Amino acid sequence: MKNRYLIGLVIFLFSTAVFAKEKEYLLSVSLVGMSMDYSEYLSSGELFDTEESDFSGIVGVELGLTKILPTESRNYAQVGISYMSLAGETQYTGGIIGSGLGYGSYLSGTLDNIIDTEIEYVYTSVLENDFEISYGIGAGYREWRRELSATQIEIYSWYSLRPKIALTYKYNDFSVAACLEYQYGLNTEMSFDIPGTYAVLTLGAANITKLTLPLKYKYSNKINLFSEYVYEKQIIEESNVVDGWLEPRSEAYNQYLKFGAEFKF
């Protein structure tokens, strides 16, 4: 149900852009590859399991729509929305609870589906020597559906506040930037469904620190081509206990490669 509302919001904003009288919009479309490096730890601190993939293991698309808000000076602001959807498979390495065997005793593949959507406001100050500094705030929603088997499905989901700051350098038709962002998770949950049991656990926290390095090329007055490298560190803290079930603490060091185009309207 949450996904339907998010998709509906994206479609509404895209249609608004197409029929708006003032054509001050940027529409972006990109292909995305994700490399996952995820680890779960027992309360004792011992490694329990990992999920790993390369950039071709989890792939998808990202759509974005941005409205430019000019000011009286050279500075400007923008509001935007983005929606990313990824799917693929990771290599699971771990153990079976109660087997007495440790990490590495069980190997399998996990099917993964990830969505991440965000609404943001960013203000940019144009500096001398072709530099710009930007700072803003975003609000987002993230969901990870982790299908360890046909009978064991886990769904992690949370909202987040996302302050960010970026420095951009422009040279002729090129621009390169570095953007640092922190995502503070809200309403953090993990639900799981196995035969005979369904439960919703409250995660202790779900926060992400994110570094984005975009490179953009002005292909024409209406089209920009771009690529992005993204590195993020995700920390999920141990959950509460429900009917004897507990979600352990986890860390993930994820990377993304994005290649796409941006269209001006």
Specify the pLDDT at position 20.
45
Specify the pLDDT at position 104.
77
Tell me how far apart the alpha carbons of residues 124 and 167 are, in angstroms, rounded to a whole number.
9
Specify the pLDDT at position 129.
86
Specify the pLDDT at position 72.
75
Tell me how far apart the alpha carbons of residues 245 and 199 are, in angstroms, rounded to a whole number.
8
Tell me how far apart the alpha carbons of residues 64 and 83 are, in angstroms, rounded to a whole number.
6
Where the chain has pLDDT below 70, the residues are 1-23, 96-100
97: nearest Cα among 253, 247, 250: 247
For the chain, counts of helices (H) and of strands (E): 1, 15
Pairing of strands 241-242, 197-202: unpaired
Domain hosting residue 23, numbered range: 2-264
Specify the pLDDT at position 3.
53
Tell me how far apart the alpha carbons of residues 198 and 208 are, in angstroms, rounded to a whole number.
27
The domain tally of the chain equals: 1
Tell me how far apart the alpha carbons of residues 148 and 97 are, in angstroms, rounded to a whole number.
14
Eight-state DSSP code of residue 150: T
Specify the pLDDT at position 21.
46
| E-only strand ranges, 22-104 | 25-35, 37-41, 47-52, 58-70, 76-94
Mean pLDDT of the chain: 91
Render pLDDT for 225-237 as a digit per residue (tens, 0 to 9): 999 999 999 999 9
Let me know: does 86 contact 117? Beta carbons within 8 Å: no
Length, in residues, of the chain = 265
Q: The domain that contains 226 carries what CATH number?
A: 2.40.128.100
Specify the pLDDT at position 74.
87
Specify the pLDDT at position 11.
55
| CB contact set of 91 (below 8 Å; sequence gap of 6+) | 51, 52, 53, 107, 109, 110
Alpha-carbon dihedral angle through residues 21, 22, 26, 29, given to the nearest 10 degrees? 0
Let me know: does 41 contact 249? Beta carbons within 8 Å: yes
Is the Cα torsion angle 48, 54, 58, 62 positive or negative in sign?
positive
Note if the pTM is more than 0.85: yes
